[in-house]
Amino acid sequence: MKTNMIRRVLGGLAVAVLGSSLANASSITWYNNIFIPPDSPTSASSSPVGAPNQYSTPYTATVTIPTFDPSTGNPGTTNQLTSVEIVLNWVASGSVNVFNFDQSSGHSFTAAQSSVPLTITGPDGTVVNTTAITGPSGPGFVAAAPNCGFPLCASETTVSGLTGSGTANNNVVGAGLNSYYGNGITTLSFNYTSGNATYGGTETGGSGHLAFGGTGIDGAGIQVTYNYVTVPTPEPGSFLVLGSALLGLGVLIRKRNKA
């Protein structure tokens, strides 16, 4: 009976001490648009930013976001990252030029579009890939016959005003989280690459007569969310009490077994 009572008391002490490890979940999100020269990069914001400017491709850029500071909690607590979510938001626009190399007749086409590959790389090497696609155009477009009397004399049809937008994301967990910690002053660099645009469409009256070119521009922004838990830091005295209690329990059980 006494042993059971002591065990219950010690169990209560363990819960009281180890209960300090119970955590409160929270998150911090930073926003930043991607800028390239001659625009100057701005500091990250804790509020969503507007639509980014668009630039001719290809280009590269760097975005900076504040590090995660584990000491920003209340006294006696520490913050521990559980995951980092990187979201890439993009907008793009462009036009597609369609060239008809068949001198005898016009050819119809649909789904004219431009595509731009986008990549952002985080400080831990995490890569977020997506493709910015503008369009596709609707049906009813015809590339007229050149009728110029020379081989490969193309008649050009321009499909303008193509737009598109979208998102891509990735979560960082595990060992990669170590790259995101800092003292609250330092920043993290995210490298952004916008590749060469490609252009295409679907020729509905056969194939081999049409070629596609055009122009494509895009802009992007990222949002980085630190998901974390706030853990109360137990005082050294609490561990001393628990250790002493557990030691006492061990001694008691040992004496009882000998008896």
**What's this model's pTM, rounded to 2 decimal places?**
0.78
pLDDT band for position 234 (50/70/90)?
Answer: low
- The pLDDT > 70 percentage for the chain reads 80
Rounded-to-integer distance, Cα 69 and Cα 78, Å: 9
Q: Which residues constitute the domain of residue 96?
A: 2-258
Ranges 37-41, 62-66, 127-131, 208-212: which has the least confidence: 37-41
Model confidence pLDDT, tens digit, residues 240-255: 444 454 555 554 555 5
Is the predicted pLDDT of residue 124 greater than 70, yes or no?
yes
Number of domains in the chain: 1
- The pLDDT > 90 percentage for the chain reads 61
pLDDT band for position 19 (50/70/90)?
Answer: very low
Is the predicted pLDDT of residue 210 greater than 80, yes or no?
yes
At 206 the pLDDT is 75
Higher per-residue confidence, 120 vs 138: 120
C-alpha separations of 134 from 112, 149, 164, 231 in Å:
9, 34, 5, 46
Nearest alpha-carbon partner for 189 in 222, 157, 165:
222
Is the predicted pLDDT of residue 170 greater than 90, yes or no?
yes
36: Cα separation from own chain's centroid = 19
**Full DSSP string of 95-121:** EEEEEE--SS--EEEEEEEEEEEEEEE
Nearest alpha-carbon partner for 194 in 8, 83, 34, 33:
34
Q: Average pLDDT over the chain, rounded to whole?
A: 84
Is the predicted pLDDT of residue 126 greater than 90, yes or no?
yes
Quick check: helix, strand or coil at residue 79?
A: strand
**Mutual angle of helices 236-258 and 2-18, in 10-degree steps:** 160
At 39 the pLDDT is 75
At 218 the pLDDT is 96
At 10 the pLDDT is 44
Rounded-to-integer distance, Cα 133 and Cα 113, Å: 7
Is the predicted pLDDT of residue 12 greater than 70, yes or no?
no
